[in-house]
Structure 1
């Protein structure tokens, strides 16, 4: 039975492709989690409200002028060209209070003691306790604004928790990347081990190191590219399944960042394939005949 002729660079690649695909999938999954987390954080910050209570007895014209004045402030969030400033009349506030507490204070007070107010959403950059204090002081200097309130210390608690989450995710992603690089390097080294004698034979007939290395590098880069494409396909399928079961996830989708992540996976796959293959081949190029056995 004739022996199969070996070709330079034609080493078993199934386990390498599987390992690299799995590795890139895990990295991509972490990346998607990071993107969604960032979008969720932005959503939370931009939906945080401060309330500016107005003086009593203001005319409707004065209340309208206050709305325009507040909307012009640089810290007010603007979405689709619309400043996020919402008027809540004292009657609407009374209905909300009664609905939440199930107690109708008007029955024993005889009047509505609440004030008209504006609910103001702020830019994400102002989601900080010190800056919120500045916003509060600035709004309270506007004629017609009685008081500005917000949940103190809540912002700092949220920011601290967000920082902790980012640190944990970053550490996990870094550790995962290091483990993947080491595993891929060892996997490719074992695969190329089957061609060590062919590499030595080519050296003996005068082949240069670059000539020997070229087909291995080409195959390694191709495997990295193919693994990235498969990993991206799996991520997209998983993402669509997740959105089908949790439609709210579509709210936090950032297409530009997702595309950048996919492009990064392709580049990372090619880079890992290239570097791991180069290091493994270079090792065998420098072995003596005794070390080959």
Structure 2
């Protein structure tokens, strides 16, 4: 039975594809988490409300003037249609909310409603810092008709600290994971090329240049990286759809442009890792002596 003739650039690729696909999927999954968490943070910040309590005895004209003065501030969040995110809460509505939360009706023993009318405002994400919020508070309190501005200072600090910790942990994890992937792929491709080491030496002995020898290996490495990237992208999209199906609320957090950039980055990273790992592995065998090959 005739022996199958080896062809330069051919070597077992199943394990390489599996390892690279798994690695790219994990990196992409971290990227998806980062995108979703960033959108979630924006959602939390833009839904944080600052309360502007008003002076008592204001008439309708004064309410409208106050609304306009507040709405013109640059830190007020607006909708896509330009509508300022400001809502009026009358003292009667505030009393009902207070009674519903505390289960205590203060009007029975006070005989009147001591609460004030207020505006609840939402701010642009850029102002979600303690110093800027304090500046917003001071600016609003200078408006005629505003009695006091209140916001939860401890909550803002806590959210910002936790967000910073999450980003640091995720960034560190992604860097460590990328380093492990590169080392793993180098070792995997090097082992796969072990069966080609003697063929590489034979081609060197007949005068083939290093570039000529390396070319088919690099082509195969790039193709493997591209295939692994495509499979990883398909798996990521499937995982994202499953998550949205089980948690429909996630659909409002999607950012198609950033997700598309991430998936394109995964494809590019797959090709880059395949190219670099293959080049390093082939270059190593090109530099070995005959004794080292054996």
Q: Which residue of 1 aligns with 2:164?
A: 163
1:75 aligns to what? Answer: 75
Say yes or no: does 1:246 pair with 2:247: yes
**SS of 2:171 mapped into structure 1:** helix
- Is 2:270 aligned against 1:288? no
Unaligned runs of 5+ in 1: none
**What is the distance in 2 between the residues matched to 1:37 and 1:252?**
9
* Correspondence for 2:55: 55
1:7 aligns with 2:12: no
Aligned-partner Cα distance in 2 for 1:51–1:84: 12
Deviation at 1:153, TM superposition (A): 2.1
Q: CA deviation at 1:110?
A: 1.6
* Contact 1:129 1:153 (C-alpha < 8 Å) held by counterparts: no
Q: Which residue does the alignment assign to 2:220?
A: 219
1:256 and 2:257 equivalent?
yes
Which ranges in structure 2 are unaligned for 5 or more consecutive residues?
none
Counterpart residue number, 2:136:
135
Equivalent residue number for residue 210 of structure 1: 211
Equivalent residue pairs, number: 293
Deviating more after overlay: 14-23 vs 283-292? 283-292
Deviations 1:242-279 (A, max 9, x none): 11111111121111110010010011000000000000
Partner of 1:34: 34
Q: How does 1:148-187 map to 2 (within 5 A)?
A: 148-187=149-188
Q: Which TM-score applies when normalising by structure 2?
A: 0.98
1:8-27 maps to which residues of 2 (within 5 A)?
8-27=8-27
Deviations 1:60-89 (A, max 9, x none): 111011111101101111121211111111
Distance 2:79 2:141 in 1: 24
Query: Does the CA-based 8 Å contact 1:232-1:262 persist in structure 2?
Result: yes
Question: 1: CA distance between counterparts of 2:249 and 2:123?
Answer: 23
Please list, as runs of the form range in 1=range in 2, the aligned pairs for 1:58-137 lying within 5 A after superposition: 58-80=58-80, 81-137=82-138
C-alpha separation in 2, matches of 1:208 and 1:218: 16
Give the C-alpha shift of residue 204 in structure 1: 1.0
Residues in 2 aligned to 1:90 and 1:267: alpha-carbon distance in whole angstroms: 58
Superposed CA RMSD: 0.8
Q: Aligned partners of 2:166, 2:153: CA distance in 1, in Å?
A: 22
